[in-house]
Structure 1
Amino acid sequence: MNAIQTNCISLNVHHFKLDNISLTIPNQKISSIVGPNGSGKSTLLKIISNLLKADQGSVYIYEKEAQCYKNKEFAQKITMLQQSKNQLPNLTVKELISFGRSPYKHFFSNQLSMEDEQIISEAMQITNITNYKNRLFYSLSGGEQQKVRIAMALAQKTSILLLDEPTTYLDISHQFEVMELLQYINKHFNITIIMVLHDLQQAATYSNYMIALKQGKIVQRGIPNEVLTKEFLQSVYNLQARIKFEDGYPLIIPNIRR
């Protein structure tokens, strides 16, 4: 069973068209959506997460049409972390992570059960942020904040995690820390991860499957070694370069005129 399937998704928004997108996302794998700026990557992710409604087409989550899920049921299947530089006012780390339990609570209830407390504690342990639980979220570094947001997603106990450019605004060490954490979560908890990435080398290194968009259309899909070729770089990014794989890690080497 695939985690996600889209059939003929199209959307016109702000002079941009996402055009007839049909794809399948493998279950319990890491998939990356790549492509140039303005190609529709984030738009597609928002449609999958129900944040945007397509003009036509359908999205299926575990072979059930997304529109057939009730809101709470959908939130127990899939969660999305969007790009964010906004600071949350006066919330501690634990308070923020506790929002991940919202889909399991009764209306008007904000009391944490013993089960909630255990799940929140486990999410903090997995992301190695237990020591921060009483600190204010805005006092943390960018990398620490991203781990807190991932912990909140883990507390939601969904089987699908969507991330829109999870390493944006982070320095190189925190970028790899976040990517290693996501890979750990996928391998140890079988969570399907779908993320929009700009860094092709990160996408190819950490993904099992890649989907490339250009001007609102799918132009390539498959395993990283098949997608990431010099022909792909030329046609999609207008970049003349060669690719060298070392221990499975791709190096994109541009053709520089001397």
Structure 2
Amino acid sequence: MHIEATLITRHAEAEAVLADTRYVPPPVRQNGEEGTLAWLRAHVSRFSTGEPHAERRRALTDLLDGVDPAELRERARAMTEQRHGDWRGVPTQVLGSALGVADTSAVPAAAAGYLSGEESPQADAAVTELLKRAGLPAITLLLQGYAATEGLIANALERARPGDDVDTLLRETLAWHPPLTVTRRLDTLTGDEVTLDLVAANREAPGDHLTFGHGVRPCPAPAHALALAAGVLEGVLS
């Protein structure tokens, strides 16, 4: 079967796709052995639809209700300063501690294929380790936040100038240099794949960026991600 691919670059069109339930994430493998990366991807909100997505997303937001973004920001700043600006891994450690996950050392290996679906023995072993230490909602937040938050910080630091206001710097980075540049959806009516160019869409309407999603599948933790990024930037730039 021939599948058409559509690229969307206009902000209004991208927003409409993200708000329409006919567009869903491309399906992921459902028959992975329990404890593997494939199994994990089949059981998280990001790659699910309908009621399973809603239930899994509620589990994330319920868990985050007990985490104060202001405390995350302060802890991220303090840890970054203690490490003399060596900030890599700080967001994951701070968030993990807040979620009750003391050892987050397996997160990078598990996160390596989380978005792409690229499976490996290393990723599977890391997922197995994480499942010994935390429930699926906490693991989901750690994996989803790992690349996105660190990518946001790295992009912001590339743009940083002396005297920059951290919050303004993050808003500009989210709009103009987001860590996630594209997102994909499957049109359930036609079977076609739709690719949303977030960079192009954001630059058309930077004051209303789509970096944290929109419509039926928004990011569950924008305030927490921004707090972690802001704390690290304060620790590096102070």
TM-score (norm 2): 0.29
Q: Which structure features the higher share of strand residues? A: 1
> Which one has more relative contact order, counting CA pairs under 8 Å at least 6 apart?
2
Please, what TM-score do these two structures have when normalized by structure 1? 0.27
Structure with the largest fraction of helix: 2
